Structure 1
Amino acid sequence: MSYSKKNYSLTLTDIITLIVLGLFPVWKIFNINADFPVFVFVLPIVIYIVEEIALNKKTLKQIISEGGKKFMGLLLILVIPGFIYLFISKADNNFMTLSFVGPKEHVIPDFSFVNQNNEIITNDDYRGNIYVANFFFTTCPTICPIMTYNMRIVQQRLSVYPNIKFLSHSIDPINDSPERLLDYANEMRANLMNWNFVTGEKESIYDIAKEYFVNAVEDSLAPGGFFHSEYFVLVDKEGKIRSGIDKEGNIVGVYDGTKDTDIKDLINDVKVLMAEYKRPKKDEK
């Protein structure tokens, strides 16, 4: 009895397919702080078509008819799961809702500050927008650069969405002039189209921090002479603080601006809040 041996060789399409199939679990295992790029599911099919046209001089019609099994196999293995993933990820947001932090009637009070362009910034500039707020100072030697970097990540990840803004309050108004805030924003490569770095009267800044349920005070014992919370606060279009819940069902309240996991949760919760506004509102009694 004799056995025939077949030589198997991996094509570029096969290699890309294996990479794509392996990429998704890696994305989830390492909890990468970004949406999975669904377009990669169609990449092997595109490469397969290019290979057949460039190397084998086939037309698209020939590729579909002669290589039907492989073409359909790639379609079933990659494209359909990609659309299922996309549908599920969007559907999750459409059926979720965020909790109110503090009393439901609590609203961020009126404020008036000066931004990096020496312009007056008030509630009116944020009314009708979802926004993320935090507190910092430009000479902060510890957590502020990390927080600002992560705020920039949030901004970039949500750049395709309308009606989202960002607001960073300096807790050192003596040193953080509008000119210094602009320099700092540029140093941190912040996109100032929808992000204001503001300063104002010291007491006004500290008082508004309390309304966000975070800390901001002078402290000679703290690094840089100030103490402030590392939190990002999510505010809805009505000026109310919102957040998701943790695995135990507790309201998160705020998001740690120094932790990648919290940043990912914040990005997702902003999307949930946006989806919430798209749903028909029930009449409240």
Structure 2
Amino acid sequence: MKKTVVLVVLFILPIVAYLFFASGINNFGKLPVLTENIPDITDVDANILLQDKITILGFLGSDLENKKGVAFNLNQKIYKRFYEFNDFQFVMVVPKGSESKVEALKSELGNLADVVKWNFVYGDKEQIQALFDALKTDLTLDGNMATPYVFIVDKDRNLRGRTNDEDEGTKFGFDATSVADLNNKMEDDVKIILAEYRLALKKNNAERKNL
């Protein structure tokens, strides 16, 4: 009996563990693409691009005083953990005329982290609505052209999210007013997409060495 238990522990359990984790990698190794080919934002700001960047895209609207909680949550829970990765950026879309409010917000955020990858894009209402509509989500902007939800956009300008979220089913964005949503879901999903690109880079480098 003891020999049987020892054999199970030494040989069978490691195989079961391997199969479990291998299955997890296959099922959760990539974030599903929810919307393809989101238009770039060069028509709004020629200096900021979504193409070839991993972007956290948000719509803070004109009432930035009431969106400070959203910005600070994102800054602390997501931005500070990931901003040093190459090709990672935040892009926050706000209405034209919000420049002084943005500078004040960036100043406050700058007391907590280097805001070098916090980018703000200024558009008119039609431009902002068109960009938001291009995401093809089940969410809406309010009267200030804002939403508390933020979105993960990959280097090919595809919206990434979840198709089998336990709470929402299809999850297009992450509620930045909810620390739980940022900690329990968004942080994990950002890690996944960063790992996805790191693995692709390693594979490309290995293939080049073998040429």
SS state at 2:58 partner: strand
Aligned to 2:38: 108
TM-score, normalized by length of structure 2?
0.69
Over the matched positions of the two proteins, sequence identity in percent amounts to: 21
Q: Does 1:195 align with 2:121?
A: no
Aligned to 1:183: 104
Displacement of 1:227 in angstroms is 5.2
Q: Which has the higher contact order (CA 8 A, sep 6+)?
A: 2
Q: Deviations over 1:47-76 (max 9, x none)?
A: xxxxxxxxxxxxxxxxxxxxxxxxxxxxxx
SS state at 2:190 partner: helix
Q: Deviations over 1:74-111 (max 9, x none)?
A: xxxxxxxxxxxxxx99x966852211114xxx211132
Alignment of 1:1-285 (within 5 A): 96-102=29-35, 106-112=36-42, 113-114=44-45, 120-123=46-49, 126-137=50-61, 139-142=63-66, 144-153=67-76, 154-170=78-94, 172-173=95-96, 175-177=97-99, 179-189=100-110, 191-212=114-135, 213=137, 214-217=139-142, 219=143, 226=144, 228-244=146-162, 245-247=164-166, 250-264=169-183, 265-277=185-197, 278-279=199-200
CA distance in 2, matches of 1:234, 1:252: 11
CA distance in 1, matches of 2:53, 2:104: 26
SS state at 2:102 partner: helix
Query: Would the alpha carbon gap of residues 248 and 183 (structure 1) be closer, same or farther in structure 2, given more than 3 Å must change?
Result: closer
Query: Would the alpha carbon gap of residues 92 and 163 (structure 1) be closer, same or farther in structure 2, given more than 3 Å must change?
Result: farther
Displacement of 1:203 in angstroms is 1.2
Q: Deviations over 1:139-197 (max 9, x none)?
A: 3453x111101221211011342221100011x32x313x4422221123363321201
Structure 2 gap segments, 5+ residues each: 1-19, 205-211
Is the CA contact 1:185–1:197 (under 8 Å) kept in the aligned structure 2? no
SS state at 2:116 partner: coil
CA distance in 1, matches of 2:155, 2:38: 11
Structure 1 gap segments, 5+ residues each: 1-87, 115-119, 220-225
Of stretches 206-215 and 272-281 in structure 1, the one that deviates more from structure 2 is 272-281
Query: Would the alpha carbon gap of residues 138 and 130 (structure 1) be closer, same or farther in structure 2, given more than 3 Å must change?
Result: same
Is the CA contact 2:148–2:176 (under 8 Å) kept in the aligned structure 1? yes
Q: What is the aligned-residue RMSD (CA, Å)? A: 2.9
Is the CA contact 1:134–1:167 (under 8 Å) kept in the aligned structure 2? yes
